[in-house]
Every structure is written in structure tokens, then in C-alpha cells.
Amino acid sequence: MNEFDLIAKYFTRPAPGIDLGVGDDAALVSISPDHQLAISVDMLVAGRHFFADADPERLGHKCLAVNLSDMAAMGAKPTWFTLSLALPEMNEVWLSSFSRGMFALADQFNLPLIGGDTTRGPLSISIQIAGEVPKGRALLRRGAQLGDDVWVSGPLGAAAAAVMHRTGRVVLDATLAQRCDLRLDLPQPRVKLGLALRDLAHSALDISDGLIGDLAHICEQAGCAAIIDFKNVPQAIELNGLSSELICEAVLAGGDDYELCFTAPVVNREAIERLGGALNTPLFRVGTITCPNANTPLVQVFDEAGQLMALPFTGFDHFK
């Protein structure tokens, strides 16, 4: 099998709604009138973002899921994606599982693959995604306003616990480890929620590097600060047996959960709770947007007793 057979067999499928899909030098796409394209790309490298022996079907899901999550965080409706793949060798078992996992998720969103690039090299996968959003309606980080509530879209920390287990920092029993693995490997992008939040939220992002680090990005761009009530931050039940230090780290600084963090005006509290019910995605109000202060961190976390918590960690940074 050569490169072109590989593309034809594993990555060429009908692309309804697309003017020209895989097969030419470029794809052709029309965009709805009065809409903007939201465009994002995420690269996943073996040994850095995933373990080299990772299950290829789950990997296919995850690579697309992290991109869909970016569309959710912008309030954009995903419309197409492209795939760049570097593979160490021709491995049809791997390719067929990988494409199965990727397309299973793509099909949930009627999302066509419209092109890509394929090369031999150390395993790495880069997906570019585009979505549409009515002009001016995207959810921007800089949209957060003083007095906004801060919300998150689900319990945090299970994916971090999976990483702690795989790297030997904690020992979880087999059932628990499997449940954490599911959260790490198969995140469910909150696309419907993101679309609905266009009407209710001022700002949003997806939590890929940990709640406090990611919320700090909103604060930086919006010129504000935030306080978090630790007791209101939903903790994954998978964390129950861990020490309070590790729970705190997993919940506040654990990446890879891909829940949304968003800020919204107080008047929208009830509507947001109703939305969570309607989508079967419980939404948790965890804090408030405040005025920045040169002497304190942008994001401060308070414990049950109302005491400021000293946090020995920050968001994930590849170059730190």
C-alpha cells in the first residue's frame, strides 16, 4: 500500500455540504453569509501529548475531540476539519483503528474531513478545524466583565488522576484507573453547550491546562481577576481516595478534562441552570470576576473557611 492508497482507504469519505473535498490540491468550501470562520489547529505528538503505545481508536477520538472543544469554547458550529499525519511506518491495523475512532466522533457532529497531509516520520497528528459563527457573536476570552459569575461545565480532575496513575505518582485500583483513563482518552467536547452559551455568556475557554491557569488566560485578556470558591468546584468522584493535596492539584491544575470554563452576568444564573438541565450537563458556579490587583495573583482560590489557599502549582506550560 502506498501513500495514495492509504489516503483513499482510510481518509477519503463523502463530504456533504463541501464544494470539493479530499483528492485535489486544495479543498473548496463556501461559507454562510454573515458568518465568520473560527479556525483552530492542535498538534498531538507521541511521547508528549500521548503515550506512544496509546490505543489508536481512542487516539483518533481524542485528536478530534480537543479540536471540537476549541470550537465549543468559541461558540462556533464545527463545519470541517483537515488531518496531517506523520507515521513511522505503514501500519494498517493502527490506521484502521485510528480512523474508526476519529470518524465515529466526526459522525456525531456531521463533520467532514476535507483534506490533509501524510508523511513518514515520528508519530504525530495535527488536526485543523473550522467552525462558523454569526459575525461578532463568538465567545472571546476578552469578553469577561467585572462581577460575572465563573462557571465550569463538569467535574474536574479525573483526567489528571489518570496521568498521575500512569506516571506512578499514585496507585489507583484497576477499575478506578480505567474510569480515569476514559476521561483522559475520550473527552466529550461540549459543542452544544458552547453554541447555547452565545446567548448567555460573556467569555469562555476550554480547560486543557488546568482551571486556574486557563481562567488566568481569560483574566489576562479581559484585564480582570477572579476568585474561586474551592468548595464549589466540582471534583470528579474518581478522586475520592486521593490525598487532599493531590485532589487540589488535580482539580485546579489538572489538564485534559476539556470542560468549558465560562463567565456570565449574574442575571443569567437561572437560565444557565436551566440550560445545564436541558443538555444533561450540570453546570457549576465556582467563582466571580473581580478587579485586578497588582499585588495578588490573577486567580485566587479560597477554602471552606474563607482562607486564601496557597497553591504550589500553575497551569501546564510545555517550555517550563
Dist CA 133 CA 194 (whole Å)? 11
Q: Does 34 bind ligand ADP (CB under 6 A)?
A: no
From ligand ADP, Mg ion, none, which one binds at residue 24 (CB under 5 to 8 Å depending on kind)? ligand ADP
Dist CA 130 CA 115 (whole Å)? 12
Kindly report the number of other CB atoms within 10 A of residue 287's CB atom.
25
Which amino acid, one-letter code, is at 95?
L
Dist CA 20 CA 112 (whole Å)? 11
Q: Which stretch binds Mg ion (CB under 5 A): 17-25, 35-43, 112-120, 233-241?
A: 112-120
Q: Tell which one of 19, 117, 245, 303 touches Mg ion (CB under 5 A).
A: 117
Q: Which stretch binds ligand ADP (CB under 6 A): 23-31, 170-178, 195-203, 264-272?
A: 23-31
The answer to whether 25 is annotated as binding is yes
The H or E element spanning position 150 is strand 149-152
Q: Does 3 bind Mg ion (CB under 5 A)?
A: no
Q: Which stretch binds ligand ADP (CB under 6 A): 20-28, 172-180, 186-194, 217-225?
A: 20-28
Helices (H), the chain: 3-11, 56-74, 92-108, 158-166, 174-185, 191-197, 211-222, 244-253, 269-279
Q: Tell which one of 2, 24, 295, 310 touches ligand ADP (CB under 6 A).
A: 24
Taking alpha carbons only, the member of 160, 179, 124 closest to residue 256 is 160
The answer to whether 19 is annotated as binding is no
Q: Which is nearer to ligand ADP, 85 or 299 (CB)?
A: 85
Q: Which stretch binds ligand ADP (CB under 6 A): 19-27, 121-129, 161-169, 217-225?
A: 19-27
Kindly state the number of chain residues that form the binding site for Mg ion, as judged by CB under 5 A.
Answer: 1
Helix/strand/coil for 219: helix
Taking alpha carbons only, the member of 199, 254, 255, 251 closest to residue 229 is 251
List residues binding ligand ADP (CB under 6 A). 7, 11, 22-25, 83, 85, 113, 115-118
**Which residues fall in the annotated binding site for Mg(2+)?**
25, 40, 42, 70, 117, 206, 209
**Which residues fall in the annotated binding site for ATP?**
116-117, 141, 208
List residues binding Mg ion (CB under 5 A). 117
